[in-house]
Copies of this chain bind each other. A is one copy, B any other.
Amino acid sequence: MVGYPNKKSSYETKGISAARRGMTLEHDINDTNKYYLDTDRAAIYKKPTPITIVNVDYKSRETAKITEAYFQVPSTTDYNGVYRGKYIDFEAKETHSRTSMPLSMIHPHQLTHLAKVVKYGGIAFLIVRFAVYDETYYVPAEMFLNKLKELKARSVKYEWFKENCVLIPYNFVTKVNYLNVVDTIIDGGDF
């Protein structure tokens, strides 16, 4: 029986992890943002998916039905909002790779946008999840953009995130508690 509590605890952790496997990063961030809003901490939202509407059916007065529309290439990131007087802007990416994050996941427009946000004094970052390891990283936009300048490959290695970025802790209510990392940045803490 020696070690049983440890084994049990390890089992439970695995259980939680397995339960989370079905959850996407987007879902976790939306839950976290809702919690931030409900607890009066910040107003940060996911932007709606940009689409081009071609045809709308106005048959009923209440419910206009869009019958033809197409997805647009996004010109900005997915999430933005306000926290402690600061403009917050980020993109979230989840990869199932064990070795690296493919750059094809991010549109060049989004990188240009993040660079602009940094320039205008906003707080810009990426949230990158390696689903296989169940690890979610806070990646400052400036650090990521500098990394891309020296990069030869079309992907950024997992080790780079592990060595340079902050692991965002998980808990049940704030599944991706990224504002705690933002706090250290606003308060002038070393990253």
10 A-B residue pairs with Cβ-Cβ distance under 8 Å, sorted by A, are A37-B116, A43-B76, A43-B117, A47-B47, A48-B49, A48-B50, A66-B69, A85-B86, A86-B87, A87-B88
Beta-carbon contact of B120 and A84 below 8 Å: yes
What chain B residues lie within 8 Å of A68 (beta carbons)? 65-67
What chain B residues lie within 8 Å of A122 (beta carbons)? 43, 82, 85, 87
Identical copies in the complex: 2
Assembly CA distance A156 to B69 (angstroms): 36
Assembly CA distance A162 to B47 (angstroms): 34
Assembly CA distance A52 to B99 (angstroms): 35
Look across to chain B and name the residue whose beta carbon is closest to the beta carbon of A74: B48
A: number of interface residues (CB 8 Å): 40
With A51-B66, A66-B66, A70-B66 known as contacts, the answer to whether A45 contacts B86 (CB < 8 A) is no
A: which residues have CB within 8 A of B?
37, 40, 42-43, 45, 47-51, 53, 63-72, 75-76, 80-89, 113, 116-117, 119-122
Which of A40, A63, A86 is packed against the most chain B CB atoms within 10 Å?
A86
What chain B residues lie within 8 Å of A85 (beta carbons)? 86-87, 120-122
Look across to chain B and name the residue whose beta carbon is closest to the beta carbon of A114: B43
Look across to chain B and name the residue whose beta carbon is closest to the beta carbon of A76: B45
What chain B residues lie within 8 Å of A67 (beta carbons)? 67-68
